[in-house]
Each structure stands twice: as C-alpha cells, then as structure tokens.
Structure 1
Amino acid sequence: MPITLTRIDVSAYRAPIDTPVATSFGVMTNRPAVFVRLEDSDGAFGFGEIFANWPAAGAEHRARLVAEDFADLLISQSFNGLTGLFDTLTRKTHIRALQCGEWGPFRQVIAGLDTAYVDLLARRADVSVARFLNPDAAPEVPCYASGIAIAQAATEIPASRAAGFSAFKVKVGFDADRDVALLSAAFDGLKEGDTLCADANQAWDFSAAKDFLDRTTDLPLGWLEEPLPADAPLPDWQALRKAAHVPLAGGENITGLGGFSDAIGSDVFSVLQPDIAKWGGLSGCWQVAQAIRQSGLRFCPHFLGGGIGLIASAHLLAAAGGDGFLEVDVNPNPLRDAFAPWGDTETRGVMKISAAPGLGISELPDSVASYQTANHTLVR
C-alpha cells in the first residue's frame, strides 16, 4: 500500500574528540553525523543516517539539503514498494544535482532518507529490517576493527583484540617507508587466527601502489583496500590486480547499480564494500549486496559514522549472508556508542541483530542532544 509522508526531522551533530582521526587525504577533528526521521500518515516512523564525514562543513549542509531541497518532494508525497522513495527522489533531483554539480551530497541525502523509509516499512510489517529484506537473515554478524592508524597499531590492535575482535584494518598511505615497517611490525604482533587488512584510502597512483605491494609480498594481508582512486583508469586497476599477491577491496566510493555492476564484472575486486550512507541506502545497497553475493565475491559493507548507520549496515549484512564482516571504527565516537549497537554485552567481535521492528531504534538517545548543531522539522 502507498506510504504517505507527513513529517521529517533532520539534525546535524558534532562530537568533540581528543585525538583526530587521520586518513591519507585528510584529518577529522570531530565526529559529525546527520540523523533523519520520517513519519507517515499512520504515525509509523523510521530512522536513517546521511554521510557527513567530508567535507568538514558537510553535516550542516546535508541537513539543510533535506530541509530546503527535498522537503517539497517528501511531505504529503506517497511512495510504493521497497525502492519507491529511492527511485522517485533520484529521478526528481537529477536536474537539481546537475545544476549545482553536487552529485555526492544529493546521493548521500537520498541514501539516508531511503534507509529511514525502509526502516519505516519494516516497522509497519512488524519485523526487523534484516528479516524484512530476507526472512532467512542471520541472527548475528561478525565484526572487524577498523580505523586503526598504522602508527598506533602496536597499541590499538591489542586493545581491539581485548574488546573481542580478531580481524583488524589499519590505515596506510602516509609515508611508504614508515607504513611498510609498521605494517610488518603489526604482523609480528598478531595472534593465531587473527586477520589484518590495510586501507590506503585512494592515496596512491599505480606506481606507488605497485611499489607498496612489491614491498609487502611476505605479508599475508586479508585485503588491500582502495590502493588507487576509485576513478582511476580500469587498465590501471586490472594491472594492479594482476600484480597483487593479496585480494583487492573497494566500493565505498562507487555509486549506482551500473557502477557496481562494472566493478563486479571487472575482475579486479575480491571484496566489495558499498556504504549505505553514501549511496543507495538500504534498498539500493540490498540490490548491490545480492549481486555481489551471486557473483561469488565477498560483501563487507563499509561504514564510518554514527550509530544508526552502523546498525543499519549490520541488518543489511545479516540479510545478505555470506562470509562478510561488518566494519566497526574503533576510534571514540559518542554519536555511535549512544545507540548501544552491541546491547549490554562487552564483546565487539559479533553484533547480534535485534528482533525488534525495523532497526530497533524508537527514539534518538538523550545523550546525543548536547552535540546537536542544527535541527529542522517539516510537517504537512
């Protein structure tokens, strides 16, 4: 039956942090998030999260996009089916995004709104999002510790292991000599059964990426993530794949069903990592997840943000099944931890999927209110 939306609440947040989170392309000096809530004419509601990590001013901008560029396309409008909202907003905002060239922000807003819409649909059906997508969804998903700066690996990997993780991902792409030395030392400190991956965050050109691979041939990386820019020429990616002794991973900066179809058929990636907050939301990434699994590749959703997006990513992975891991950023983030994604358990290596309707989130935690920087409420 059609879903008619009557209310939108969208808020931007920024949580201060003591230690900046560094990547090869920039440094986060606080933890931002944008949370959105949709409500329909029957009072059913759903929550979503919009990507806000970059640029530095992105959170408040995304929140205003929802209020000023999407409200007229949502309030009092009706949508049908799982992809109804995603398809409609993608079509109706095409010229707006083209006019300003802000493809990323528009895609990210649509992604967060789609997640909220699917949460609403699952809540109306009185099932979890995971079971709404797949009645045979897994009851829990394995997690890996991400966001570990290579310079802090010697302390952060043991701390993550103590929290229950046995798979870890370090950030490289800073100084080649230092990266290789520290990565080698990190392997020396692993325990039996541990897995270690590396993420370059698009830092290198082909020559630098191949040099890194040549210098780490004795290190059994679980995968090397984004060694090249997502838009690097396909021949460069294919040549690097032939030279690589480890699986290549990517996907957080790929968009569109066509983009993922090309990635699946490229014979480059062993691991694909769509991000529900950057493109596609739950409905778009559910289609991609199924295609990845059907192709025999590994589906490991990317996520680095607040609690809503992390929980939604867990539901998506549970629905998709397979041998994927849920990415869990181990850097401090009150906007994630306030949602208690692991419930009252202290171990972080496995996340159980709540059987509550939707994503199991009935309201925003009180503790996030002090971090709010912008709020917009739109009603019919």
Structure 2
Amino acid sequence: MSKPLSVAAVETLLFRYPVPVPVSSAIGTMTSRPMLLVRIEDTEGAQGWGEIWCNFPIVGAEHRAHLVKSVFEPLLVGQALDAPAKHFERLTRLTRQQIVQTGEPGPFAQCIAGIDQALTDLAARRRHQPLWRFLGGKSATLQAYASALGPEDPGPSAQEHWERGFRHFKLKVGLGRERDLRNLAELRAALPAQAGIMLDANQAWLAPEAVEMIHALAAFKLTWVEEPISAEAPLSEWSAVAAQCAVPLAAGENLRGRDRYDEAIHSKAFGFIQPDIGKWGGFTGGLEVGRNAVAAGLAFCPHWLGGGIGLLASMHLLAAAGGNGYAEIDANPNPLREAASLPPMVNGCCALPETPGLGLDPADTLVPSLDEYRIR
C-alpha cells in the first residue's frame, strides 16, 4: 500500500516591477507592483500555486514572505494532503494566538489565503480538472471589467481597452470633487453610450460627503460606487448611505471572516460583494461567500489588483460561484500580470481554459519569463 500524499515543500517567490508611471488612488501611490507567489509541492513532485496580497506598504511583500517561511512552512511540511478546507481551518486555528499577540490579522490571513489557493490548485491538478470545474462551476465563460483607470487621462486607456474587447470600466475617484467629476466626464465621453462605468473611492469619504458625491456623480449612469466610506464603518452607516443613493454600493475586499461577510450580504446595503482571494479566504472562504451572495440575489465580483496567478485564481473563483458578477482585470501595464497569458476578451466576456488547475504551469512559463523582476 502506497503512503498517503503529504506536503513536501513550501516556497515563496517574490517579484517586483518598478512602474514607469506610478499608480495613484485615494489610498496612496504605488511606485512598484509586487507579486508574492507561494508554491506547494507534494511528495510525488506535483505542484500547486497561489498568490498572496501584498500591495501596501511597500515592504509588505517581504514581510509576508518571511511569515510564510517562519510560521506557515513548519505547520505544513509533512502534513497529509487531504481537503484544502481542512488546512484553511487548521492554519487559522493554530495561528490564532500569534495573530492576537502581533496585532497582524491581515498579513496572517493573506498568507493563509495564498496557501489555500496553492493547495486547491494542487488538488485540481491531481484530478486533471480546471479549477472552476473542480470547485463545482458550470461554465467557463465570465464577464470582466477593466479596472483602476485614472486618475490621469482615463479616456485614452479606456478607449484602448474597449478595442481589446472590454465593455465595463472602473475609475478611481476620491481625489477631490472637481477632479473626480472631470475624470468621469472624460471617461464617459471617451466610450460608447452602452459602456458600463463603475467608480472606486477607496474609502475616501465620510458618510455625508459620500451621499453628496454619489448624487453628483450619478448622472453618468453608474453600475456601482465601491467603498465610498470606511470598510470599518458600522453596517448601519453603510445602509444609511445606500438608502439615500440610487447607485448601488460595492464592497468586500477589506472584510475578513465568515461572520463579516454574512452580515454584509444580509444587510441590504450592497448590490455587489467583492472578497479578495489573496486577502482572506482563498478558494475555501471565497467560494462560500460567493455562493451565499449569489443565493441572496447579489452580484459576486471578486476583487483583484495584483499579479497574474492571483488574477487567474480570482477568475476561476468567479466561474465556480456562478451568478452574473464581473472579474476585475487591472488596466495598468504590469508584466507580472500579463505573463499569465489571460484568455482574450470578446464583447466583455472571456472563457477560462480546460487545462488542469489554474490553466498554466508557472514553473515552466511564468516564472522563467519574469526572472528580471525576481528579488527572492
């Protein structure tokens, strides 16, 4: 009788692309784009891959890489490769005290999310199934939008992405009333009338200002306004803003834990729920949130603004959950994303491949092509 499969190795690979034009938002400015991958290998040499969210602060990627090495690798190597969900719960439980002691729930959750992606990818590859089908999805086709446009000259970028097949576009706002209105007017003028436009304020406003700004911006026929107020504001405050605005609200990238998502889904404050597969939950938590959101009549739109592995994982998550949501695809140049060879957009939609797992072998393709950007 052969020995059960177990985890043989856990490795992080860190890349950083120094952007020629910094990416600005109400949160701050990104002068480089990081990508922190986690690779898990089993005792027969099969591999699974995930990506850990690490955009802020600038040294956040290195910190999370050290956390994986010092905290999570010892908890994983030698463990039996059973259901990824069991490891998600186990790692969450075993690091509870360290999370409290360090006051770092975010970085720990992000590491667990990337590890969960890698374990799920490995399981799907062993079943010779694409992730979306392995997780119970019915269709490989999904909608997507071009994200993170602006705040400088959003029109030309939007036109370029329209030509590439996108039909929905998200603009960064929260940078001042006049600038926001000017950018939105430019974006709407640059696109055909049927184009969908979303806005992301990155928590820039207090509730009264949010209501005022959404009223001012609503004339541009918006699909949603994302994070107009603090993600930590009470749900009663979110509900009060939603009740005063005709434009649906979107949020979720900065929530953690099943209870927070359940409360958000049932609060009636949101039309769109947006967990980030690299921030909390991985596939295990994200799929549960997605299915709950769809069952409640909301659109499930996973958040992603990182490298190509996390983007592919996010797209598989959306396809597995179903519903009428959108995948988020960053519109800014980034070879760490582009190296993943994403499926082409056709009239606002794309179709994931039938190849096992994420749909590519990062060790053979993505990692070698990005050697100039690898820093550890």
* TM-score normalised per structure 2: 0.95
Q: 5+ unaligned residues in a row in structure 1: which ranges?
A: 375-380
Match of 2:63, as an amino acid?
A: H
Q: Assess if the C-alpha contact under 8 Å between 1:39 and 1:46 holds in 2.
A: yes
Partner-residue secondary structure (3-state), 1:83: helix
Shift of 1:114: 0.2
Q: Out of 51, 54, 61, which is 1:52 matched to?
A: 54
Q: 5+ unaligned residues in a row in structure 2: which ranges?
A: none
Match of 1:156, as an amino acid?
A: S
Q: Which has the higher contact order (CA 8 A, sep 6+)?
A: 1
Partner-residue secondary structure (3-state), 2:222: coil
Distance in 2 separating the partners of 1:361 and 1:99: 39
Q: Assess if the C-alpha contact under 8 Å between 2:156 and 2:190 holds in 1.
A: no
Q: Out of 71, 81, 106, which is 2:73 matched to?
A: 71
Distance in 2 separating the partners of 1:150 and 1:78: 48
Q: Assess if the C-alpha contact under 8 Å between 1:122 and 1:132 holds in 2.
A: yes
Say which is worse superposed, 108-117 or 234-243, in terms of deviation: 234-243
Partner-residue secondary structure (3-state), 1:78: coil
* Distance change in 2, residues 1:230/1:8 (3 Å): same
Distance in 1 separating the partners of 2:176 and 2:157: 19
1:122-161 pair list within 5 angstroms: 122-134=124-136, 136-161=137-162
Shift of 1:17: 1.2
Distance in 2 separating the partners of 1:338 and 1:93: 33
String of CA shifts for 1:307-346, please: whole Å, max 9, x gaps.
101111111111112111110001011111111122xx47
Match of 2:237, as an amino acid?
A: D
In the alignment, which residue of structure 2 is the partner of 1:90? 92
Match of 2:359, as an amino acid?
A: G
Q: Assess if the C-alpha contact under 8 Å between 1:150 and 1:183 holds in 2.
A: no
Distance in 2 separating the partners of 1:346 and 1:119: 24
In the alignment, which residue of structure 1 is the partner of 2:222? 221
Distance in 1 separating the partners of 2:29 and 2:252: 21
* Distance change in 2, residues 1:252/1:2 (3 Å): farther
Distance in 2 separating the partners of 1:231 and 1:281: 21
Match of 2:362, as an amino acid?
A: E
| 1:362 correspondence with 2:361 | yes
Distance in 1 separating the partners of 2:183 and 2:5: 53
Q: Assess if the C-alpha contact under 8 Å between 2:113 and 2:281 holds in 1.
A: yes
RMSD: 1.6
Match of 2:152, as an amino acid?
A: A
In the alignment, which residue of structure 1 is the partner of 2:235? 234
In the alignment, which residue of structure 1 is the partner of 2:258? 257
Match of 1:350, as an amino acid?
A: C
Match of 2:127, as an amino acid?
A: A
String of CA shifts for 1:111-145, please: whole Å, max 9, x gaps.
000000000111111111110011x4212212100
In the alignment, which residue of structure 2 is the partner of 1:307? 308
Distance in 1 separating the partners of 2:5 and 2:208: 52
Equivalent pairs: percent with the same residue?
A: 41
Say which is worse superposed, 113-122 or 70-79, in terms of deviation: 70-79
1:175-324 pair list within 5 angstroms: 175-324=176-325
Distance in 2 separating the partners of 1:150 and 1:72: 43
Q: Assess if the C-alpha contact under 8 Å between 2:132 and 2:319 holds in 1.
A: yes
Distance in 2 separating the partners of 1:171 and 1:339: 25
Q: Assess if the C-alpha contact under 8 Å between 1:24 and 1:174 holds in 2.
A: yes
In the alignment, which residue of structure 1 is the partner of 2:175? 174
Match of 2:103, as an amino acid?
A: G
In the alignment, which residue of structure 2 is the partner of 1:353? 352
Q: Out of 84, 100, 103, which is 1:101 matched to?
A: 103
Partner-residue secondary structure (3-state), 2:159: helix
Q: Assess if the C-alpha contact under 8 Å between 2:51 and 2:114 holds in 1.
A: yes
Distance in 1 separating the partners of 2:84 and 2:9: 19
* TM-score normalised per structure 1: 0.94
Say which is worse superposed, 203-212 or 110-119, in terms of deviation: 203-212
Shift of 1:218: 1.9
In the alignment, which residue of structure 1 is the partner of 2:35? 33
Match of 2:96, as an amino acid?
A: H
Shift of 1:7: 0.6
Runs of 4+ in 1 over 6 A off after TM superposition: none
Partner-residue secondary structure (3-state), 1:356: coil
Match of 1:272, as an amino acid?
A: I
Shift of 1:190: 2.7
Partner-residue secondary structure (3-state), 1:30: strand
Q: Assess if the C-alpha contact under 8 Å between 1:163 and 1:349 holds in 2.
A: no
Shift of 1:2: 6.2
Partner-residue secondary structure (3-state), 1:80: coil
Shift of 1:65: 0.7
